[in-house]
Amino acid sequence: MDPAVFESVEAACRVLQRDPFGQEAIAIWQKAQADRTERIATQVAEAAPIVILEGTDGVGKTTLATNLQQSMEAVLVKTPPDELRHLRTYFDTADAELRRSYYLLGNYVCAAGLGRMEPVTPVIVDRFWPSSAAYALAFDLKSSTSDIPEVGRMPNDLVDLLPFGSRPIIFLVLDLPEEDRASRVRARSSITAEEVSLEQDAAVRKRLVNAYATLQLPQGQAMKFLDASGSPGEVLDRALTMVRRGVEAFRASPVPLSVNWHYTRQCNYKCQFCFHTAKTSYFLPQTKGGMEEAKRRLRRLRWAGMQKLNFSGGEPFLHQKELAELCRFCKQDLKLESVSIVSNGSKITEEWIHKNGEFVDILAISCDSFKEDTNIKIGRGGGNHIQQLELIRDWCAAADIKFKVNTVVNALNVQEDMGHMISRLNPVRWKVFQCLLLEGENAGEEALRNAKKLTVSSEEFSGFLDRHAEIKILVPEDNEKMKDSYLILDEYMRFLNCTGGAKKPTASLNDVPVISALRDAGFNSKMFHTRGGVYEWTRARVACQDGGADLEDLAGKPAPLRRMPRPDGAPKTLRPWKRVQVLTTAALVAAGLAVALANSRNSRTLAAR
């Protein structure tokens, strides 16, 4: 059997294509793929868990699946799913490669079905990819994940079908002493050849257990072993406890609510204080397969909780074709609440805005002075920056795009009064930054810029703010607020950790789960909210006051976004799927699951924190 069959659904289909029943299975998969939709919970409290049960035959998966279904008011699905189940008898007697390809394809059909389910409904899955891989390693390949890693790693195209990050996915492997497991299997009316081999061959059992323990799951997941001994009620209690812990861990994970993707370092300007300089010319969307790779990683960020994506650089409009496609993808396919762009404005055209404006919520233009000679000294343009700024403002108004202005306060503009021009431009926000030094970018021996001479003191920055205090849309950010309150993704799709005064990259999202990279990103969520990182950021403008201020900026009211921290003292509300339902005492007795009711209430209730 060729291990390559486990690399992708395409590889499995190549094997199945050789068989008439395999062709029927492929047609079922193609229909499931065409019918697939993405349903993503908008609030963490709405996201119910998916519990995947794994383990050898005879450990009690079916019993536990039924009890979890009743207790959690869940949907129960199995692999192979119903669409493919009529073909199972045929493939169980087929050769190993054909049989494993069938079971592998069943995982893809199941995953596509999970995407169609409402995220507020718990789902129990009786076996999934881990069983497909573990049984192939133990019985057919007679090897381990260390020897054949491609079999022990969930295929990327299968990972991309699952809602990791959008809702908790919990893998439970039921573990039972061999003597108990074998006696249960022998009591069955019919026993498969694999079940006989599992009882008689200790080496096979060892390979199977080791395979389950060493499989590589995506998105920071791990196989959790569940003691399946004791009564069904006791096993259910243990399972519910593990589900509750999985849900709590999901809620506690960091959330990339708003991400700034500096997707290129190339720029046609040479601003002296730039903190993201042109160290490389790498641009992922123009590499072979790079656009699709970028979309896959953005989809993962979306599932992990991203609601807003900001394209920055460098100058993002140096790649207008790719920028247009990515903006379209984010709004139409990912359905992000907000897509924004930060640009110097020099490459923006009315035609681009006319064609692609529907996919852009906010366009922010960097303008550090309303005196062209000052802009030239800074390195921003050649003398027509203000004229272009006003044109873009008009184009944004025509396209219903929120227009925003960003200004870096530095030694060359700290004494300037910009109030009149800002009022005239009437942006929805005027972000005012204090010139920031970052080692290796605009400071230090390896930097392409030296911005030290352009820095201003806290007192000077405060003076600039005082001069413009009457402008209600001004949003100030000093160095303390800026440093750790932005999630910055670089051109290699690595988060940049700025906590030490430099940009230390995490591992790339191409190589590690989003949650793993986030843990190393040094992101300060509290400071993100303190600086007003959440505001009304969609295209539909709210009523404005005093020159276009967003009402949510003025009121300090957070937008109703996913996984927002609950304010201290706020009431704890139950999840929309209420709680894991407590079985009545009568039902427990009837099912042979009698346990103490008080203990049941404690261990079987999952409520939103």
Residues with a known catalytic role: 267, 271, 274
DSSP track, 143-172: --TTT-TTTSB--HHHHTTS-BTTB-EEEE
Tokens of 321: 């074709």
Q: What is the DSSP string of 376-412?
A: HHHT--SS-HHHHHHHHHHHHHHHTPEEEEEEEE-TT
Dihedral angle computed from the Cα positions of residues 518, 521, 522 and 524, in that order, rounded to the nearest 10 degrees: -50
Token output for 43: 């609030």
**CB of 396 within 8 A of CB of 364?**
no
Both tokens assigned to 374: 């000052």
Q: Taking the alpha carbons of 492, 493, 494, 498 in that order, is the dihedral positive or negative?
A: positive
C-alpha distances (whole Å) from 153 to each of 125, 173, 175 are 19, 17, 21
User: Which residues lie below 8 Å from residue 170, measured CB to CB, with a gap of 6+?
Assistant: 49, 50, 51, 52, 224, 242, 243, 246, 247
Angle between helix 320-328 and helix 290-303 axes, rounded to 10 deg:
40
From the CA atom positions of the chain, what is the Rg in Å?
A: 28
166: closest CA among 38, 316, 333, 358? 38
Q: How far apart are CA 152 and CA 551, in angstroms?
A: 52
DSSP 8-state symbol, 333: I
